[in-house]
Structure 1
């Protein structure tokens, strides 16, 4: 099996001391493991004061980690990054910055929906640019695809933004292999962001990894540590504070939590023998699986960040890969990764273009 050192592009970009990896076939070389900014602002309990969050971003930046991931739905995440860029002149140009559109929450009712309408995409892109305090986004994702609108229409509008210079590279998230193939006929998709970890292997099982290999599309692995579960540091659902998303996720329920510790403990035993943490083992294993894979673990603690970055120094042997995959195959994962209400937005197939009679059919 190819080692990380062989798979990672060693032509280190300006401003980073970290190894880099190419973003698919057409993208630039960016730091091989990204940083997920979501947890600084949303879904894992009450955010910390700004100065503490700035200190985390300072630490990440000074480490040479220059691939940062945000989204318009992560509460004040884009605003926080915009303020940090203002405090650090010149840093924006060195960061490969990703953000996303499509997840909408009605401010009056709190109802969630997926929005891919052309005018909405254009509006949200401009809003994100304003919040981030920048005139371009390096990687712009459709965070969730609307099943009722052909992906061709969504990507056509994203390509308009790219042609206008507002966006450099295009991404999708939680789409099926068929949706990705259709999208790439309109414009090259540089990255697909998917949950990918020993707890979430659908990327391999549903044909998406193979499609990405054929099309030269990077896989950006979100929640590569199973939302912290695979680090082994979370031992009970009672460890979460009020407002933490994991209290609503079936995989972390009181009914399922302790059943899922079996895989966590098996991976920890392998890591102990290797002399690393289970989190480092997991991240290194993901990167070893294919040169297209770029994990983006997130954390609010610099200690955890440094531990995650240690994965870049590990190599996974063929024997270790086989042992890890055997453990994954033998473990029954209890509980879905999202609540049932969110399931329809995962691995989405959109309506075929020739069956669509909506208001935007003339765009393609």
Structure 2
């Protein structure tokens, strides 16, 4: 049932149809402890998105073993509570989970012991909700064991029935090809937006399209700046990790805010919201692109999903390119932290 509103994920008998706009769930649990999100607010957003999809399509729900304050399992627990309360939404959801980090940290460990611990922890946490994860992916390419060994462990865990699909995250095009040659990779998750479009991003997108792999594009709204929701540094809560990113600091922020304002002006002329324009730009990169914006607002989620209906003309794309010519200032990672440490494009 491929269309502008859906994408095909997987291979052979495991193929499923998902909506072109997914839902990142991290920010529902990774937030200021004084601003705890009520379950029903989170649940309303998840339900609204699933209900908005074409018949037969599943919502790509994206979570992680460490999506919670202190790298806890809080988000997995929220997902379990959702499916326990609304079991009818389980078959209409495609649940993708990242793991493979050491407990309560973001250090990748690809040892058989840790990967099994991660997968079984995820499975046990989700069990009360009755919804198994559909896809597991190592959140980063580990360095403590050879890649073939780590990926082989993931393949073995899949064979044991813990999940049906294997994904990759923050990997290079070369690593993606290597993994796919060992076992089909259904999804690769990378950051993609109008101003997070690096050379390696382009290579991963091209390789994925060639191999029939879906791109789960995270932070497609530039972490709130492209969508117009962040207009000044003061709009970012104290303690928010974005304050540590060079793109959101002092001179860089002022420069980037000017670009975002011009981007928003294009959206106004197009008759869409800035968020919809940003998502449409990502969708335009190929039929395998599935942005996974994160929101806890039901109305904002519906706005995001409607971006699948936005068609960008050559004139629109030229106008956007002109706006982006100034180039974003600052990095998408924290100041002073080398990309190698975060295992980006490994």
TM-score w.r.t. structure 1 length? Answer: 0.84
Instruction: From 307, 329, 334, give the equivalent of 1:334.
Output: 329
Instruction: From 316, 319, 323, give the equivalent of 1:323.
Output: 319
Q: What residue number does 2:71 align with?
A: none
* Distance (Å, rounded) in 2 between the aligned partners of 1:270 and 1:179: 37
**Root-mean-square deviation (Å):** 2.2
Report the alpha carbon displacement of residue 181 of structure 1 after superposing the two structures with TM.
1.3
Instruction: From 58, 67, 89, give the equivalent of 2:60.
Output: 67
Which stretch shifts more, 261-270 or 276-285? 261-270
Aligned residues: 330
Q: What residue number does 1:20 align with?
A: 6
In the alignment, is residue 120 of structure 1 matched against residue 123 of structure 2? no
Q: What residue number does 1:52 align with?
A: 41
Q: Confirm or deny: 8 A CA contact 1:34 1:294 kept in the other structure.
A: yes
* Distance (Å, rounded) in 1 between the aligned partners of 2:288 and 2:80: 29
Deviations 1:248-278 (A, max 9, x none): 1211112321111132122112111111111
In the alignment, is residue 260 of structure 1 matched against residue 256 of structure 2? yes
Q: Confirm or deny: 8 A CA contact 1:225 1:279 kept in the other structure.
A: yes
Equivalent residue of 2:64, what SS? Answer: coil
Instruction: From 166, 169, 182, give the equivalent of 1:170.
Output: 166
Report the alpha carbon displacement of residue 183 of structure 1 after superposing the two structures with TM.
1.0
Q: What residue number does 2:97 align with?
A: 99
In the alignment, is residue 299 of structure 1 matched against residue 302 of structure 2? no
* Distance (Å, rounded) in 2 between the aligned partners of 1:43 and 1:116: 28
* Distance (Å, rounded) in 2 between the aligned partners of 1:286 and 1:91: 27
Report the alpha carbon displacement of residue 342 of structure 1 after superposing the two structures with TM.
6.2
TM-score w.r.t. structure 2 length? Answer: 0.88
* Distance (Å, rounded) in 2 between the aligned partners of 1:48 and 1:254: 30
Equivalent residue of 1:207, what SS? Answer: helix
Deviations 1:166-197 (A, max 9, x none): 11111111111111111112111111100000
The 5 A counterparts of 1:169-248 are: 169-202=165-198, 207-248=203-244
* Distance (Å, rounded) in 2 between the aligned partners of 1:290 and 1:152: 29
Q: Confirm or deny: 8 A CA contact 2:109 2:144 kept in the other structure.
A: no
Distance 1:206 1:305, change over 3 A: closer
Report the alpha carbon displacement of residue 24 of structure 1 after superposing the two structures with TM.
5.7
* Distance (Å, rounded) in 1 between the aligned partners of 2:275 and 2:215: 19
